[in-house]
């Protein structure tokens, strides 16, 4: 078994796991902040702006806060749709699983051919690069094969 290839696959698996988790957490963080901003803005709309000088905001500060909180969900939705955190998380998990499959193949084969597995890993990397959810591209529905 080629230790260089094992090291490269292990490093790729670790890298993909870190970024898959980060993107997953970013997606949930953006979602949570969006919900909270919308909820707080709804509560503030129902409150009386004249009560806010006691808190130190004043009527102008209250209006600025309310405007910012009201605009935040739309801005966060735009950020989430542009950066595509959830899709990127799924992409990293797919790449991680493919690298893990190769690593297991090396571990479980009696006579693994590092050259063949290295070539397979290169092909996987090239294929995965073509599937990368690019920055700002619009989401698309998966296409069923054989229906052309």
- Within a domain: residue 146? no
Tokens standing for residue 104: 């297991």
Residue 65: the pLDDT is 78
- Within a domain: residue 138? no
- Within a domain: residue 136? no
Q: What percent of the chain has pLDDT over 70?
A: 83
What mean pLDDT is reported for the chain?
83
Calpha distance 9→144 (Å, rounded): 31
Helix (H/G/I), strand (E/B), else coil: 133: coil
- Within a domain: residue 82? yes
Q: Give Cα separations from 34 to 30, 37, 49, 76, 125 (angstroms).
A: 6, 5, 23, 6, 35
- Within a domain: residue 141? no
Residue 30: the pLDDT is 93
| Interacting residues of 2 by C-beta distance below 8 A, sequence separation 6+ | 106, 114, 117, 118
Residue 87: the pLDDT is 92
- Within a domain: residue 8? yes
- Within a domain: residue 147? no
Give the global pTM. 0.74
Helix (H) or strand (E) holding 14: helix 3-46
- Within a domain: residue 112? yes
Calpha distance 44→32 (Å, rounded): 18
Q: Which domain holds residue 16?
A: 3-130
Give residue-wise pLDDT tens across range 110-126.
888 888 888 889 999 98
The residue ranking higher by pLDDT, 141 or 83, is 83
- What's the structural domain count of the chain? 1
Calpha distance 15→135 (Å, rounded): 20
């Amino acid at each position: 078994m080629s230790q260089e290839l094992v090291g490269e696959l292990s490093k790729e698996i670790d890298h993909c796991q870190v970024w898959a988790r980060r993107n997953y957490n970013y997606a949930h963080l953006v979602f949570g902040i969006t919900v909270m901003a919308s909820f707080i803005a709804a509560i503030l709309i129902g409150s009386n702006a004249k009560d806010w000088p006691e808190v130190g905001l004043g009527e102008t500060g209250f209006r600025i806060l309310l405007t910012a909180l009201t605009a935040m969900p739309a801005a966060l939705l735009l950020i989430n749709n542009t950066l595509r955190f959830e899709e990127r998380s799924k992409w990293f998990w797919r790449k991680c699983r493919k690298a893990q499959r190769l690593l297991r193949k090396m571990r479980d084969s009696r006579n693994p051919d590092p050259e063949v597995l290295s070539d397979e890993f290169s092909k996987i990397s090239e294929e995965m690069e073509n599937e990368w959810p690019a920055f700002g591209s619009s989401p698309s529905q998966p296409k069923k094969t054989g229906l052309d």
